[in-house]
Amino acid sequence: MDNQTLSATFQQFYGESPALVAHAPGRVNLIGEHTDYNEGFVFPAAINFGTWVAAAKRSDDVINVTAMDYDNQQNEFALTDIQYDENQGWANYVRGVVKVLKEAMPDFSGANLLVTGNVPQGAGLSSSASFEIAILKAISALYALPLDGVKAALLGQKAENTFVGCSCGIMDQLISAMGNEGQAMLLDCQSLDIQHSPLPDSHQIVIINSNVKRGLVDSEYNLRREQCEEGAAILGVSSLREANMTMLEETKSRMSDVVYRRAKHIITENQRTLEASEALKVGDIQTVSTAMAQSHVSMRDDFEITVRPIDYLVEIIDEVLGNTGGVRMTGGGFGGCVVALAPTDKVDAVKQVVADKYFDETGYQADIYVCTATQGAFA
């Protein structure tokens, strides 16, 4: 979306030009799945798909937002009375972030907003966090609020947890706010410490959307969270971040097989994530390849969040890449996307194998996005 089109559309709806256009990227997680709410490590990259918000001040205390991607639906609410909207689900992301921002930094008034994005919805590439961070960036820039990326991420997460009603971790918002161009970000979800690792110039991030709609994801996500908390309680630690495999084996007899396997995934996934981020710093793709492969197996067998079409995509892409790149499911699970770190000269072969085999095997058509790592909204 170019700013000119956005400005012209804003003019149509509001009869004036926007004061600014804010942008926040979506993200793909290269490795470290479901570790974020267990205070562990994740390794995402901000991608060149995102959300744009054109904004202008109003003289009253009303927020009016127009969503281009929802047939130009409009939603209006007063800053003094922000309630959950049962009819327009998308509007609750705006209402939620404005509510938590108002509580944290009350020094702003109304705004006209026009929102559009190109993050594929429901694919696990975090269109919601991109949306939240873009709104926070727009309003904080409009009113010169002292909001930094970490604070913005925490507010976005709070809005999603307390207003929208999804108990997500902090990763999606933080990478959208703080990503670096050409790099992936190792995030310690306990301390919020950030380290960046360069992505190799020789490789591309390829995202393959299985187009399996993620039907169970909210209920199963919350169930996995409860199982992880149960595992931590039996282990006597505040979160699975504090556990290791020796401790887990010692307490195995005291937990159900399911809770044991959930905990095993988190403990081993944290280790793989650290190994992959260190390996990329020295250009060791083989170690990254192994870590991504093991991550997928762990999500499939121990955390049980993959589905057959996703597993099939990973199998056929792995045959193309071998140890020259990596491939695994990414996101919350039960559908969504596969991410591959593929040598540039094998990207066409990845596209070809998906085109040749995936539909015939599964009955689904895949969408493929070749991405670059881009800058976060507050970086």
Residues annotated as catalytic are 172
Helix axes 257-281, 217-235, angle to 10 degrees: 90
Q: Which residues contact 86 (CB under 8 A, 6 or more apart)?
A: none
Beta 62-67 vs 111-117: how paired, if at all? parallel
How many CA atoms lie less than 13 Å away from 185 in the CB half-sphere? 28
3-state secondary structure of 27: strand
CB 227 within 8 A of CB 258: yes
Do 362 and 312 form a contact (C-beta atoms < 8 A)? yes
Whether 50 contacts 26, CB under 8 Å? yes
Separation CA 159–CA 173 (nearest Å): 11
Contact predicate 160/132, CB 8 Å: yes
Cα dihedral sign, 266-272-274-280: negative
What is the rounded CA–CA span in Å between residue 168 and residue 146? 25
Beta strands (DSSP E) in the chain are 20-31, 41-57, 62-67, 73-78, 111-117, 183-188, 194-198, 203-209, 326-330, 337-343, 367-371
DSSP string over 222-244:
HHHHHHHHHHHHHHT-SSGGG--
- Please give the torsion angle defined by the CA atoms of residues 311, 312, 313 and 315, in that order, rounded to the nearest 10 degrees: 90
| Sign for the pseudo-dihedral over CA of 314, 315, 316, 320 | positive
